Structure formats: structure tokens, C-alpha cells
Amino acid sequence: MTTIPGALDGGAAPRCPECGFQIFNRRYPKCESCGALLPETIVYSPAERHALRVAEEERALESARHESSAVDATPASLDDALVSAMMGLTQP
């Protein structure tokens, strides 16, 4: 039994009503196993898919920004904290 991180959406994955295939990609309107059209309760609506895509793009931009800023910001502030801690320890 393998678990796929991210696929567990707070519960079991929905299944195709035609063949019982587990639906992991809820953005695809058809069953990936038998090709049956999936009910709207399983797949995301076009509006939801659009919102997801926008959110994902924003998240990607955000994490890229965080990574680049973390590289030059975090070590410096860590060093400062260490230096002031050392100073406090070595002072009589």
C-alpha cells in the first residue's frame, strides 16, 4: 500500500462510477482508466481549475521569492543572534 502525498485530500480519493478507478487527477474531466465522463461532484469545475492554476502560479512565484530572499537574509540574522549571545556569555 503506497500513499501519495498531496493526493489524500482529507479522505479517500473519489472513484469512477463506471469502473471504480480511483480518481487522483480531479482536474481531468474523464476517467483515466475507462474514459467515462466523471460527475461534476468529482472533477473540478472550469472556474475551480482556473482558481487552482492561479493559486499554484502565485505559490510558485512566492516560494521562488522566499528562497532567494532566505539565502541572503536568514544566515545574517542568525549570525547576529549568535554573536550577541556569545557576547553576553563572555562578558563578566
Which three three-digit cell numbers place residue 2? 503506497
Amino acid letter, 89: L
Grid cell 460527475 is found at 39
Residue choice 7, 8, 9, 19 for contact with Zn ion (CB under 5 A): 19
Residue choice 7, 22, 25, 34 for contact with Zn ion (CB under 5 A): 34
Binding mask 37-76 for Zn ion (x = CB under 5 A): ----------------------------------------
CA 63 → CA 4, 32, 58, 73, distances in Å?
22, 31, 9, 15
Binding site for Zn ion (CB under 5 A): 16, 18-19, 21, 31, 33-34, 36
